[in-house]
A and B are shown apart, each in its own frame.
Chain A
């Protein structure tokens, strides 16, 4: 028992590690927010473009979506960081993590928004047309608001899952929570900083996880 406390809950070590890990945590939050904004923004944009009845455009979007929905996040991160420099595009660890995870989230978001737009009953389109709405006004004023509501449960879950991928940034030496904790751990030869990092992740994600359960219940088409 003493050994557990000394190794994993060593207060002295934790106090020492706190500022470093906190700095990493700030970066984790920043990367997560950027990924969510970029991923969902691009996803919504692509989903709308996908509805434009342009075959070439839709085909390109489908390829994009399938590619980034299928590849593991870490594979995308490693490819961007270690592969793209050969094409003359060298990104920093920060930019790599944000871009790679945003690519993945945007693919999922495109798919989710597009399915949601298609899931809105046809009658809504027909009613808008009968009321004299143009295609774009019907899409933006009538269909999208309903589609977004349908998309929320899947989107929340996916956004949380991909934000957790920020910890993968440690693979390209991004000094986020996990990376910082590991570097302190290496110096003090004690894994308590890891416990601290775990606590940070818990405080950040547990409210989101609980909120997602609530969102799922509230927005699910099956709940009545």
Chain B
């Protein structure tokens, strides 16, 4: 037990590497804060374009969404970070991670919000039209509020996944929380930084994970 504590919960090692972890946490939060709104906006754009029901456009949108949902996000990251420089386009690791996660999640959010928009009965659009709402005001005031309520569970679940995904930045040496913990582990020859990083992720995301689980449970109620 002592050996276990000394290895995984070593206080000395924790004090030594504490600044690294704080730095890492800041970068993780920054990644999440930058990426989440970008990805949601892209998804929203896809859903709104889809709702106009232009045939060729919808086929293109569905292909875009399905192709992106078929790629592991890290494949996209490797393509952007290691592949694009061959075209002379060299992105920094932060920009590459933001781009990979945004593009990947635009597919997920696009699909979720599209399903949400489709779940709103057609009569709502017609009624808005009859009341003199223009197409944009119809989407913003009538369709979207109902659509988002209908897909709140997958929306929240995907947002949680997005924040978790920021840890792939570690693979392109961006010192976010996971990467910082690895660096610290190699400096101290002790896995305590890894335990600490895992705990920080857990404490940060756990309330949100509970909320998502509650929302998902509701979607299963038989009516």
Contact = CB atoms under 8 A, between A and B. Distances in A.
Interface of A: 3-4, 7-8, 66-67, 69-75, 78-79, 82-83, 86-87, 111-112, 115-116, 118-121, 150-151, 154, 161, 164-168, 170-171, 178, 182, 185, 190-191, 194, 197-198, 201-202, 204-206, 208-210, 213, 221-222
B213 A191 contact: no
A167 B223 contact: no
23 contacts: A7-B87, A8-B83, A8-B86, A66-B206, A70-B202, A70-B206, A70-B209, A71-B164, A72-B201, A75-B167, A79-B194, A86-B190, A87-B7, A111-B213, A119-B221, A154-B219, A165-B72, A171-B171, A191-B82, A194-B79, A221-B220, A222-B119, A222-B219
Nearest to A202: B70
B161 A161 contact: yes
Contact of A83 (B66, B191, B219): B191
A66 B217 CA distance: 15
A71 B197 CA distance: 10
A178 B71 CA distance: 11
A61 B182 CA distance: 29
Determine the main DSSP class of A at the interface with B: helix
Given A111-B216, A194-B78, A202-B71, 8 more contacts: A66-B206, A67-B202, A72-B201, A79-B191, A161-B161, A194-B83, A209-B70, A221-B222
B75 A72 contact: no
Question: Interface centre among B69, B82, B119, B213, by most A CB within 10 Å?
Answer: B69
Interface of B: 4, 7-8, 66-67, 69-75, 78-79, 82-83, 86-87, 111, 119, 161, 164-168, 170-171, 178, 182, 185, 190-191, 194-195, 197-198, 201-202, 205-206, 209-210, 213, 216-217, 219-223
B71 A198 contact: yes
A7 B191 contact: no
B30 to A, nearest CB: 16
Contact of B86 (A7, A67, A71, A209): A7
Contact of A201 (B72, B119, B198, B220): B72
A8 B79 CA distance: 10
A71 B198 contact: yes
A73 B164 contact: yes
B99 to A, nearest CB: 16
> Do most interface residues of chain B lie in helix, strand or loop, or is the interface mixed?
helix
Contacts of A182: 78, 82
B66 A209 contact: yes
B164 A86 contact: no
Contact of A116 (B185, B220, B223): B220
Given A111-B213, A119-B222, A178 B78 contact: yes
Contact of B79 (A73, A120, A164, A191): A191
Contacts of B7: 86-87
Contacts of A87: 4, 7-8
Contacts of B74: 167-168, 170, 178
Given A70-B205, A72-B164, A87-B8, A206 B66 contact: yes
B178 A75 contact: yes
A185 B85 CA distance: 13
Given A75-B167, A202-B71, A185 B82 contact: yes
B198 A194 contact: no
A70 B79 contact: no
Sorted nearest first, the 6 A-B pairs with minimum C-beta distance are A205-B70, A167-B72, A72-B164, A83-B191, A191-B83, A164-B72
A87 B170 CA distance: 24
Nearest to A121: B222
B70 A201 contact: yes
Contacts of B71: 164, 198, 201-202, 205
Contacts of B202: 67, 70-71
B194 A78 contact: yes
A168 B209 CA distance: 22
Contacts of B87: 3-4, 7
Contacts of B221: 119, 221
B120 to A, nearest CB: 13
